[in-house]
Amino acid sequence: MFSFAKNKKNPGWMAISLQDDGVYAAHITRPDNARPIVELAAFQGLDGSSHDQGLEKLAREVGASRYRCATLLQSGDYQMLSVDAPSVPAEELKGAIRWRIKDMLDFPVDEATVDVLNIPADKNGGNRSQAMYAVAARNAIVQKRQELMARAKVPLAVIDIPEMAQRNLSALLAQEGRGLAFLSFGGEGGLLTVTYAGELYLSRRIDVPFSQLQQAYGDALTSCHERITLELQRSLDHFERQYGFITVARLVLSPMGEAGEALRNYLSSNLYVAAETLDLAGILDLSRVPDLASMQSQQKYLLTLGAALRQEVAA
């Protein structure tokens, strides 16, 4: 996403996320021909203090200055818009996208930091126009996060978004020639992504926070499951109409413990796509961080780990 530095540090990436309950950090390396290794996972609660204080303390404890670091924005910090790709040279792309989204933002485009994500078209799709995602965040939000990291002496190289962190996890689960739907839940609600061949094709937010899945029971829980199922059906139907050349073979749910198992059972009975629950031990080497064996820890660290799976890409 929004890249700032190219300095070389220790192998792999350290990702840092600011959540309601505190600051999370994870460092992952990616050896050849082996599962990615979670080298470190750390948490600093706030205990009434600010994210500034929690971040500074955590950064010292994990030696963040030794790593290439990425951080995640929260869903309310940016807008993600699907647009038709303009027919312009590569060096003019971002300028053309800014013009195209200026009336779609809820703030002036002159105050926006903008990046783009390609959505690969069907190779056999003829002259159908190609779509892409434009990601826009207020300059003030980007600057505030940069300054926060600088005060904590964190060498920030990238500001990323949850959709891309989830895409990174999906890439480890993908089946060749098949699409993958991934549904996670956190404090901000549900995030559905559909990926294919390592690329993000669809992103949808579901207004059901994880706490609601945990705390609801009886008719309230059934209603919650129905809302999620309806949103999934609509999103997958839309995806099928838009990208008929991709078959979605699996729906993977993020680790959620008992709440996730109840949802998986409901979805399995009401969707045409098989639903399964992810155990990160199946795609990551967790041997150096045994606390991540629990579903509760996996749920809390999920997107931070996804962000730490980032790989170098061309600008």
**Are residue 226 and residue 264 in the same domain, yes or no?**
yes
Rounded CA separation 99/133 (Å)? 14
Per-residue pLDDT, 123: 77
Tens-digit pLDDT profile for residues 233-292: 999 999 999 999 999 989 999 999 999 999 999 999 999 898 999 999 999 999 999 999
Per-residue pLDDT, 315: 39
Name the pTM for this structure: 0.93
**Are residue 128 and residue 199 in the same domain, yes or no?**
no
Per-residue pLDDT, 3: 65
Question: What is the CATH number for 132?
Answer: 3.30.1490
Total number of domains in the chain: 3
Per-residue tokens: 278: 């992810």
Range of the domain at 110: 77-137
**Are residue 132 and residue 207 in the same domain, yes or no?**
no
N- to C-terminal Cα separation, the chain:
9
**Are residue 111 and residue 67 in the same domain, yes or no?**
no
Per-residue tokens: 70: 């990425």
**Are residue 166 and residue 193 in the same domain, yes or no?**
no
Question: What is the CATH number for 300?
Answer: 3.30.420.40
Q: What percent of the chain has pLDDT over 90?
A: 85
Tens-digit pLDDT profile for residues 203-212: 999 999 999 9
Rounded CA separation 271/268 (Å)? 6
**Are residue 308 and residue 227 in the same domain, yes or no?**
no
Per-residue pLDDT, 126: 59
**Are residue 306 and residue 209 in the same domain, yes or no?**
no
Tens-digit pLDDT profile for residues 56-99: 999 999 999 999 999 999 999 999 999 999 989 888 998 999 99
DSSP 8-state secondary structure symbol assigned to residue 102? T
**Are residue 67 and residue 196 in the same domain, yes or no?**
no
Where does 105-188 have alpha helices with state H?
A: 139-151, 162-171
- Are 136 and 81 spatial neighbours (Cβ–Cβ below 8 Å)? yes
**Are residue 166 and residue 181 in the same domain, yes or no?**
no
Tens-digit pLDDT profile for residues 143-191: 999 999 999 999 999 999 999 999 999 999 999 999 999 999 999 999 9
Predicted confidence (pLDDT) at residue 314 exceeds the cutoff of 50: no
Burial of 32 (0-12, 13-18, 19+ CB in 10 A): exposed
Q: Determine the average pLDDT of the residues in 116-123.
A: 89
Report which of residues 174 and 314 the model is more confident about.
174
Amino acid at 115: D
**Are residue 216 and residue 84 in the same domain, yes or no?**
no
**Are residue 237 and residue 178 in the same domain, yes or no?**
yes
Name the band, by pLDDT with cuts 50, 70 and 90, for residue 50.
Answer: confident
**Are residue 179 and residue 314 in the same domain, yes or no?**
no
